[in-house]
Amino acid sequence: MKPAPFSFVRPQGLQHALEALAADPGAKVLAGGQSLVPLLSMRLAAPSTLVDINALPDLDHVRVDDSGVRVGALARQADVLGSDDVRRVQPLLSLALSQVAHATIRNRGTVVGSLVHADAAAELPMVLTLLGGSVSVASATGTRTIPAAELYAGPLESTLHHDEIAVEALFPGLGPGEGVAFEEVSRRHGDYALCGVAAVVRVEGAHVAEARVGYMSVADVPTVVDLTTALVEEVAQRPSRRARNQGELSDQAVSAAAELALQHLDPADDLHASSAYRAQLVRVLTAHALRAAHDDAVVRGGAPG
Amino acid sequence: MSTRLFGESVQRVEDQRFLRGEGRYVDDVLVGTTGRDMLHAAVLRSPHAHARIVDIDVSGVLDLDGVHLVWTHDDLDGPMAEPLPLLIPHPSLTHGRTQYALAKDEVNYVGEAIAFVVADDRYVAEDAVGRIRVQYEFLPPVVGIAAARAAEHLVHDDVPGNVGARLEQENGDARAAIAAAPHTLSLDLTVERSASTPLEGRGTVARWDPDIGRLTVWTSTQTSTGVRAALAAKLGLDLGRVDVVTPDVGGGFGVKINHPWPEELLVPAAARLLGRVVKFTEDRREHFISSAHERGQVHHVEVGFDDEGRVLGLNVEFWHDHGAYTPYGLITPIVTSTQLLGPYKPGAYRVVFESLYTNTVMVTPYRGAGRPQGCFVMERTMDAIAAALGKDRTEVRAVNFIQPDEFPYDQGLIFQDGRELEYDSGDYPASLQRLKDLVGWDDFPKLREEMAREGRTVGIGLACYVEGTGVGPYEGAHVHIETSGKVKVATGLTTQGQGHATVFAQVVADVLGVPFEDVDVVTGDTRRMPYAVGTFASRSAVMSGSAVHLAALRAREKVLRIAADALEASEEDLEIVDGVVSVKGAPGSGASIDLRTVAVLSNPLRYAFDEASQAATQFSVGDPGKPPVAEDDEPGLEGRDFYSPQRSTYASGMHAVIVETDPETAEIKILKYAVVHDCGRLINPMIVEGQIQGGVAQGVGGALYERMAYDESGQLLNASFMDFLMPYVTEVPERIDIDHLETPSPLNPLGVKGAGEAGVIPSAAVFASAIEDAEGPSHPGLVITAMPISPSELFHLRQVHTEESR
Amino acid sequence: MSEELYDVRLTVNGVAHDVRVPARRLLSDALRHDLGLTGTHVGCEHGVCGACTVLVDGRPARSCLMFAVSAVDSSITTVEGLTRDDGTLGPVQQAFAECHGLQCGFCTPGFLTTITAGLADHPSPTEDDAREMVAGNLCRCTGYTNIVKSVLRAAALRDGRRTPSPGTEESET
């Protein structure tokens, strides 16, 4: 389990890195390496050149501003997870990060690297998609911003061009009335989830105004389903104003939401779980995540009226 | 008096080097100056489970810069070109087959070695392997026990029905007893494949010294002497020209007892040919697909019992998947067939097994070696009887126990060592009582109710086992008291982390009356002790522990004889305390001699080297009328002895677990784990408990997480630590409550029984029992018949059960 | 055709080493075979087992998931660097000896480095913290019971002696 030979550059400036990448169609970017290096050692990937971007200046930032959390290409997952600003501005990112592999991996692994690795079983691509974030990329010829909805083309396939380097990701912050939750079931602590679910629920007064849920490991690409209708209809049908104001989602509502979600998902069989079991996890975790996100929204917004 | 060390939790001496990063594992050997001249090997392994090799094209491989050698079977000759040895033949193994060091004409599992490359480093060696082109003609693969039994296709053309062996044993007339019994049940029970999976894989380093025509081989093995003998035979060398040294070993758990692995022969052969040091270090993927697996068995049970649950007749048939080859004979299925009986005495017992070929990695013993399967079968049967009679599961077990006054108890069968299956000692009713107390068996219904009120589902299970440990034929030890007063001990079996250097030093320090720190133990080095068998079957403490004890006694006899002569005292009046021999009850009275001086006196030299030699001049020993070394004596203060027992000694134990199963996700959580363990007298309780804790964790892996997932084409789908789910700390019980019962073995001088494997034996059984119990209230009648079990599988069971009960 | 070699300066346990390696040389191999620091062990080479964990600028990292050529700007601590200058065991090592936190010793270096950094961040761990600290490392021998004990014991030893080991000093900077 040793990598095949490759050439190596460790540029000190972004322009140099972009030129090196453009110069070799077989070149690949090395950031944290926590996903890439195992593939190299198993010789499942054999790039002719590795462009090590770890020495590039000014790319390790974790910043919060009005639009949300901005994470530079060299910011390690541990740094983002450890940021109180991030937790405040977009708690879902922190919740998801705490489920990414193990602490030692997060020390090297980068947030942006995970996003462009485009694994549908990974937490961060799904969270970026759910939050409607984006990735800024640069090439020798210019820069562009790819919205999350356009970032994922297929399993382990992003829409970045070969000569582009992702330099920053934007995770929009928590909006007014919003609450979030993240739930996953994995075989061992730190493994890829058999099914992972993140929810963003927005309440207006006692009403659920919006409920969007993201799924990992139950479709080929990170998938987000809008479940607002299932919850809104249900709330309207509650027998009394009092029940509507109790601030809890009913069993019927969350199970209707889960069934709606399943129509958009394609849970598959693999070594660790049957498709039927994954569908069950979609049901269970959707319910848990919706309830938790709803509670979170209520707590953040004060008790419902 | 010195404090007695036997029974003390002495800190381990080997830890000092391990903790500093100064352990020497096989991949560390000769790193440094020699390391720069070292060459590295890699192996081309079959990507196909079953194929004929039409052509191998190695042209272009030697063109690669840094490649020194490439071998296929065509390049081997003499004994090296013949199949690897069948280590343990058995009359019932009528169709034993072993692989070649490099495949000849046919491959029979994904991972089988086809070509061998030596290069400047492992990176280049892997590049070179990638350049070899093999043309295959595909043959239909046989994967799994069902396919092997169906025998639509054959693994080996000349093995009809894929049956390597069929063995039957019977004590009484089991079928008649079942027919006459008031109640009967039949069960079909399955255990899947798993593997030892030590953190360090296999590895071998070899150096040929042309000046003296001598081969030194370092290998990560559980038997140095076995590898040495195999090497001498295969390479055509005199045994005396081959030294095998087992360095520190990063875990074995059984897989390293099989030998010689292809690389253990190819690396030394290449080192001799090239005149360079050659190293092979197996990587993780190779370990999954080319080192042995175990556990895969399917069982059918017929049992007849009375109203009390007493087993009147037990008839077990099972099918053992031994993979593509049978280098280790029938040890594993024989162990299942005999140890299945556990602490029980059925009225009559019949067992028959078939050992079957499949196009998968070969099977050799893995910690427990067939016992986990046997225990699973017997304990599932006990649970089924209890369920059928509506009795408490512990009551059914209790009525079947062999009683303390019935030892020695002959089960009327032949064990894996070819000796009678005769239990030497034990107290099973006492163990059960302690287990019930430890886990809170009688209070459990209350806990279940409380948890149910919170919407939580819990269950309790137990499992009992008896383990034949310390199998023969023998082990030996050599004890040498040097003129420095230090004691050098050598025993031939190897060490994979069990703390042998500590426990054997405890034994020797007690016998010789020397400080523990002065005893230095070497294991697994054929230069120091060429007669040995190996480390397996929980035999080290029993076999080498006893041998070390006996050898130390020999040395002590000589110490006392010489000291008595020097001090003009009688041997019976002498004692050794802190390395000084003196007259009992008269310490400090002046009539004393230290061991250094005795060591000098034992060896009448012409020359004096040190203070001890000077000191020795004041004593006069020996008969001036005789030669300096008497006819019946020899120079040096040494003792050497061997321990060879009549038969194995039988340890036992019982585990109980409380689990919680999630009603929605079917996730399984361990709430409490309790162990009662009886391995006779404990030399070092800290080390024994460590063995149990580790065994339990490994058992949790086997019961809930680990399996070898082959597809129908014979590809191992989970050959990585990503997908072969070895437990992390987060998957094992937070605490394991352990209680020891000590019924000494009457068979060895220390009264000890083996402890190494025990922790892993009852896992599948105890978890099946507890999970089934947890599911009972919500899914009455749901039975668990196959292990391991994952949440996905438990969910499936619930679904199927719900549909069936509609 | 010979593979291109790169001149690399690796700073390990406070000592600079100059080596010439191909780009693909894994840091784990460079430490072990080029520098002779064989205390770092290789258990899986795909980043799961944790045996090869070293401290990179004070933080635990898998040395099998880094290339030596990428480690030029970092200060690396291996298990060899945890022993005190006077040759005595550091607190984590000492705790493992006292608590029987190791058996075959193969995974141990990865645990020792991980815990050394972990205690620098969390000097007074609870039992749950201790478990979390070692949750990314595999051990096949011990069942982890005594490793968790060792973490707690190491915290106590570290407290009592007030003399941090070399590894912890680094991770506190």
Residue at which a domain ends, from C65, C81, C97: C81
The answer to whether B126 contacts A191, with C-beta atoms less than 8 Å apart, is: no
The answer to whether C104 contacts B248, with C-beta atoms less than 8 Å apart, is: yes
Chain B interface disruption, residue of C106, C133, C152, C157, most B CBs within 10 A: C106
The pLDDT of residue A179 is 97
Per-position b or e across A15-46, b if 16+ CB within 10 A of its CB: eebbbbbbebeebbbbbbbbbbbbbbbbeeee
The answer to whether A187 contacts chain B (CB < 8 Å) is yes
The pLDDT of residue B588 is 62
Amino acid A52 reads D
DSSP string, A109-150: -BHHHHHHHT-TTSHHHHHHHHHT-EEEEEETTEEEEEEGGG
pLDDT(B431) > 90: yes
Chain A interface disruption, residue of B792, B793, B796, B797, most A CBs within 10 A: B792
Q: How many CB pairs under 8 A join A and C?
A: 90
Residue C116 inside a domain? The answer is: yes
The SS3 call for residue A207 is strand
pLDDT one-digit tens code per residue, C39-76: 999 999 999 999 999 999 999 999 999 999 999 999 99
The answer to whether B800 contacts chain A (CB < 8 Å) is no
Chain B positions touching C109 (Cβ under 8 A) are 21
pLDDT(B386) > 90: yes
CA-to-CA dists, residue B6 to B504, B509, B510, B752, B783, angstroms: 10, 9, 7, 11, 46
Residues C44 and C100 in one domain: no
Give the H or E element holding residue B180.
helix B174-180
The SS3 call for residue B60 is coil
Residue B190 inside a domain? The answer is: no
Query: How close does chain A come to B791, measured CA to CA in Å?
Result: 8
Give the H or E element holding residue A213.
strand A207-216
Q: Residue A301 and residue A295: Cα distance in Å, rounded?
A: 10
Q: Residue B233 and residue B230: Cα distance in Å, rounded?
A: 5
CA-to-CA dists, residue B754 to B97, B197, B536, angstroms: 31, 21, 10
Residue A208 inside a domain? The answer is: yes
Cβ neighbour number for residue B107 with a 10 Å cutoff? 26
DSSP alpha helix (H) spans, chain A: 14-23, 36-41, 77-81, 84-89, 91-97, 103-108, 111-117, 123-131, 228-237, 241-244, 251-262, 275-301
Candidates B436, B428, B435, B434; CA nearest to B403 is B428
Residues C100 and C52 in one domain: no
Cα A21 → chain centroid: 26
The residue-averaged pLDDT of B155-162 equals 98
Question: Worst-scoring range by mean pLDDT, A103-112, A212-221, B367-376, B795-804?
Answer: B795-804
Chain B interface disruption, residue of C1, C20, C140, most B CBs within 10 A: C140
Q: Residue B629 and residue B631: Cα distance in Å, rounded?
A: 7
Residues C65 and C44 in one domain: yes
pLDDT one-digit tens code per residue, B774-804: 999 999 999 999 999 999 999 999 999 888 7
pTM: 0.96
- The torsion defined by the Cα of B449, B450, B455 and B458, in degrees rounded to 10, comes to -70
Residue A1 inside a domain? The answer is: no
Residues C28 and C45 in one domain: yes
Residue A57 inside a domain? The answer is: no
Residue A2 inside a domain? The answer is: no
The answer to whether A274 contacts B123, with C-beta atoms less than 8 Å apart, is: no
DSSP string, B634-674: -SSSEEEEEE--SS-EEEEEEEEEEEEE-TTT--EEEEEEE
Which residue do the tokens 């593979």 mark?
C3
pLDDT one-digit tens code per residue, B174-185: 999 999 999 999
Query: How close does chain A come to B100, measured CA to CA in Å?
Result: 24
**How many Cα atoms are found within 13 Å in the side-chain-facing hemisphere of B98?**
21
Q: What is the CATH number of the domain that holds C139?
A: 1.10.150.120
What's the pLDDT band for A137 if we cut at 50, 70, 90?
Answer: very high
pLDDT(B152) > 90: yes
Chain B positions touching A194 (Cβ under 8 A) are 792
The pLDDT of residue B656 is 98
3-state helix, strand, coil split of chain B in percent (to 5) is 30, 25, 45
The pLDDT of residue B611 is 77
Q: Residue B117 and residue B121: Cα distance in Å, rounded?
A: 11
Q: According to the 3-state scheme, what is the secondary structure of B563-582?
A: HHHHHCCCHHHEEEECCEEE
The answer to whether B123 contacts chain C (CB < 8 Å) is yes
What's the pLDDT band for B705 if we cut at 50, 70, 90?
Answer: very high
The pLDDT of residue C173 is 32
pLDDT one-digit tens code per residue, B507-520: 999 999 999 999 99
State the angle between helix axes of C91-99 and C108-121 in degrees (0 to 180), rounded to the nearest 10: 120
Residues B611 and B658 in one domain: no
Cβ neighbour number for residue B473 with a 10 Å cutoff? 11
Residues B611 and B681 in one domain: no
Residues B673 and B590 in one domain: no
Q: Based on C-alpha coordinates, what's the Rg of chain A? A: 20
Question: What tokens does A108 get?
Answer: 């090297």
Chain C positions touching B32 (Cβ under 8 A) are 36
Tell me if B303 sits within 8 A of B311, measured CB to CB.
yes
Which residue range is the domain that position C114 belongs to? Answer: 83-162
The residue-averaged pLDDT of B388-400 equals 98
Q: Residue A54 and residue A31: Cα distance in Å, rounded?
A: 6
Candidates B92, B196, B109, B190; CA nearest to B149 is B190
Residues A184 and A294 in one domain: yes
The residue-averaged pLDDT of A1-11 equals 97
Q: What is the CATH number of the domain that holds B279?
A: 3.90.1170.50
DSSP string, B761-777: TTHHHHHHHHHHHHHTT
The B residues from 730 to 769 touching C (CB cutoff 8 Å) are 730, 732, 734-736, 759
Chain A positions touching B709 (Cβ under 8 A) are 271
Which residue range is the domain that position A15 belongs to? Answer: 7-52
Question: Worst-scoring range by mean pLDDT, B2-6, B82-86, B569-573, B760-764?
Answer: B2-6
Q: How many CB pairs under 8 A join B and C?
A: 178
Cβ neighbour number for residue B133 with a 10 Å cutoff? 12
Chain A positions touching B795 (Cβ under 8 A) are 274, 276-277, 280
Q: What is the CATH number of the domain that holds A159?
A: 3.30.465.10
Question: What tokens does B728 get?
Answer: 């992390």
Percent of chain B with pLDDT over 90: 92
Tell me if C154 sits within 8 A of C95, measured CB to CB.
yes
Q: Residue B187 and residue B296: Cα distance in Å, rounded?
A: 17
Candidates B599, B597, B578, B600; CA nearest to B587 is B578
Closest in B251, B690, B697 to C100, CB measured: B690
State the angle between helix axes of A275-301 and B791-804 in degrees (0 to 180), rounded to the nearest 10: 110
Q: Residue B728 and residue C133: Cα distance in Å, rounded?
A: 11
pLDDT(A248) > 90: no
Tell me if A261 sits within 8 A of A279, measured CB to CB.
no
Q: Residue B393 and residue B445: Cα distance in Å, rounded?
A: 13
Which residue range is the domain that position B324 belongs to? Answer: 297-471+646-804
Residues A208 and A114 in one domain: no
Residues A14 and A117 in one domain: no
Q: What is the CATH number of the domain that holds C57?
A: 3.10.20.30
Candidates B594, B314, B649; CA nearest to B482 is B594
Query: How close does chain A come to B529, measured CA to CA in Å?
Result: 36
The answer to whether C41 contacts B197, with C-beta atoms less than 8 Å apart, is: no
The residue-averaged pLDDT of A32-51 equals 96
The pLDDT of residue A305 is 39
Query: How close does chain C come to B633, measured CA to CA in Å?
Result: 40
Residue at which a domain ends, from A172, A200, A235: A172
The residue-averaged pLDDT of A184-198 equals 96
Q: What one-character DSSP code corresponds to residue B542?
A: I
CA-to-CA dists, residue A137 to A60, A142, A207, B255, angstroms: 15, 9, 39, 50
What's the pLDDT band for C168 if we cut at 50, 70, 90?
Answer: very low
Q: What is the CATH number of the domain that holds B517?
A: 3.30.365.10
Candidates B218, B369, B355, B342; CA nearest to B298 is B355
Residues C146 and C129 in one domain: yes
Residues B709 and B796 in one domain: yes
pLDDT one-digit tens code per residue, B657-685: 999 999 999 999 999 999 999 999 999 99
pLDDT one-digit tens code per residue, B25-49: 999 999 976 666 899 999 999 999 9
Q: What one-character DSSP code corresponds to residue C80?
A: G
The answer to whether A8 contacts C67, with C-beta atoms less than 8 Å apart, is: yes
Question: Worst-scoring range by mean pLDDT, B233-237, B285-289, B566-570?
Answer: B566-570
Residue C140 inside a domain? The answer is: yes
> How many independent structural domains does chain C possess?
2
Which chains have at least 3 CB atom pairs separated by less than 8 Å from chain C?
A, B
> How many independent structural domains does chain A possess?
3
The answer to whether C70 contacts A189, with C-beta atoms less than 8 Å apart, is: no
Residues C39 and C107 in one domain: no
Q: Residue A287 and residue A197: Cα distance in Å, rounded?
A: 10
Complex ipTM: 0.96
Residues A233 and A286 in one domain: yes
The answer to whether B685 contacts chain C (CB < 8 Å) is no
Residues B570 and B698 in one domain: no
The answer to whether B127 contacts chain A (CB < 8 Å) is yes
Residues A213 and A160 in one domain: no
The answer to whether C93 contacts B20, with C-beta atoms less than 8 Å apart, is: yes
pLDDT(A90) > 50: yes
Chain B positions touching A258 (Cβ under 8 A) are none
The residue-averaged pLDDT of C134-157 equals 98
The answer to whether B126 contacts A188, with C-beta atoms less than 8 Å apart, is: no
